Structure 1
Amino acid sequence: MEKVLLLHSSTDGQTVKILHYIEEQLGTDCQCELKDLNTLPEIDFADYQRVLIGASIRYGHLNKKLYEFIRLHRPALEKHKVGFFCVNLTARKEGKNTPETSAYMKTFLKKSPWQPKLQAVFAGALRYPKYRWFDRVMIQFIMRITGGETDPTKEVEYTDWDKVSLFARQFRQF
């Protein structure tokens, strides 16, 4: 049985939800372990055949802990089969939802000393009722500017699960 490490840098849980979905897609011949990379866990990459990192954008940026994790584990990341995906609300729009067209992925690749060979970009979810007041107001402001949903009572999931399934198959064959 193949061991797979699923690492997340998630703010509101959509990245974790995507990783759980990918775990289901990988099937029973994979034993998956989920860890929060924001805690900078000690990891023996030799224990895993594959690693998948999912990270969310908040206010236009990935968590700084992601870059610290990459700095600490770069040699292992470069030696192993490691995929990476980014989750953001901008990816709900066509033309901003691929590694080649996502401003966030481009910025990540410029800033990161590690360049993942397998990459994806997924749209996230709005969870207005669950946000703290400040986050709700800021996200509404951003969504107003970008033509998105601003009703504070709404929850909208933009994730394209067929696209996630395709990426899971690519990760499995990677």
Structure 2
Amino acid sequence: MMKVLFLYSSREGQTKKIFEYIDGQLQGDECEFKNLHEIEQVDLSLYDRVLVGASIRYGHLNKKLYQFIESHLAQLENSKVAFFCVNLTARKEEQGKDTPEGSAYIQTFLKKSPWKPELIGVFAGALYYPRYNWIDKMMIKLIMTMTGGETDTTKEVEYTNWQKVTLFAEKFKNLT
């Protein structure tokens, strides 16, 4: 049995939901969840594999992710670690926005971060309009209007491609 650490930065819960799904794919492994917003230090050497996942909000990854990378860079570089990003733009699979090469967010991350993960995933997130406060609801509606997405603020729409998450979980499981 492998010991696996899941480190997540989730705003509305879709990133954590993706982690929970991956947990189900790693049957037989002991998976531990930690919120990047609540931890200061962690010893990655205690784990066989580590998966870091973070969501985009208003075009940016949370600064806690970059702080974590900065303070744990040596450990990240010496461990079996993968990364995935969750964003609404990745719903445009036909445009390649769901790939590390086609994701502007991943390209920005790779320029800003000293850590270069060996395995990177990009997954579409979810729209949870009824859960947003009024300002977020209107801002996200504006963004979705500009990008051709759902604008009905009474709806919750999940764009995550679970088959793609399954394939990523297999790659993560076989990370060497």
Which TM-score bucket, shorter chain as reference? over 0.9
Structure 2 equivalent of residue 16 of structure 1 = 16
* Pairing 1:148-159 to 2, within 5 Å after superposition: 148-159=149-160
What's the CA shift string for 1:27-52, capped at 9, x where partnerless? 0x200000001223321112100000
The residue identity in structure 2 corresponding to 1:77 is L
3-state SS in 2 of match to 1:43: coil
Structure 1 equivalent of residue 145 of structure 2 = 144
Instruction: Report the TM-score, using the length of structure 2 for normalisation.
Output: 0.97
Alpha-carbon distance in structure 1 between the residues aligned to 2:128 and 2:100? 24
**Which runs of no fewer than 5 residues in structure 1 stay unpaired?**
none
The reply on whether 1:113 has 2:137 as its aligned counterpart is no
Alpha-carbon distance in structure 2 between the residues aligned to 1:53 and 1:81? 11
- Tell me the CA shift for residue 145 of structure 1: 0.3
- Tell me the CA shift for residue 66 of structure 1: 0.3
Structure 1 equivalent of residue 38 of structure 2 = 39
What's the CA shift string for 1:66-102, capped at 9, x where partnerless? 0000000000000000000000000000221100100
The residue identity in structure 2 corresponding to 1:57 is I
1:40 and 1:65 in contact (8 A); partners too: no
The reply on whether 1:85 has 2:48 as its aligned counterpart is no
Alpha-carbon distance in structure 2 between the residues aligned to 1:91 and 1:41? 30
Alpha-carbon distance in structure 2 between the residues aligned to 1:41 and 1:2? 24
What's the CA shift string for 1:90-124, capped at 9, x where partnerless? 00002211001000000000000000000010000
Alpha-carbon distance in structure 1 between the residues aligned to 2:20 and 2:9? 14
Structure 2 equivalent of residue 6 of structure 1 = 6
Alpha-carbon distance in structure 1 between the residues aligned to 2:161 and 2:19? 13
Alpha-carbon distance in structure 1 between the residues aligned to 2:46 and 2:137? 40
Equivalent pairs counted in the alignment come to: 173
Q: Which moved more, 1:94-103 or 1:163-172?
A: 94-103
* Pairing 1:26-105 to 2, within 5 Å after superposition: 26-27=26-27, 29-94=28-93, 95-105=96-106
1:9 and 1:63 in contact (8 A); partners too: yes
1:56 and 1:86 in contact (8 A); partners too: yes
- Tell me the CA shift for residue 11 of structure 1: 0.6
The reply on whether 1:123 has 2:124 as its aligned counterpart is yes
CA RMSD of superposed structures (Å): 0.7
Q: Which moved more, 1:32-41 or 1:125-134?
A: 32-41
The residue identity in structure 1 corresponding to 2:135 is F
The residue identity in structure 2 corresponding to 1:73 is H
Alpha-carbon distance in structure 2 between the residues aligned to 1:12 and 1:129? 11
Give the ranges of 4+ consecutive aligned residues of structure 1 lying more than 2 Å apart after TM superposition.
Answer: none
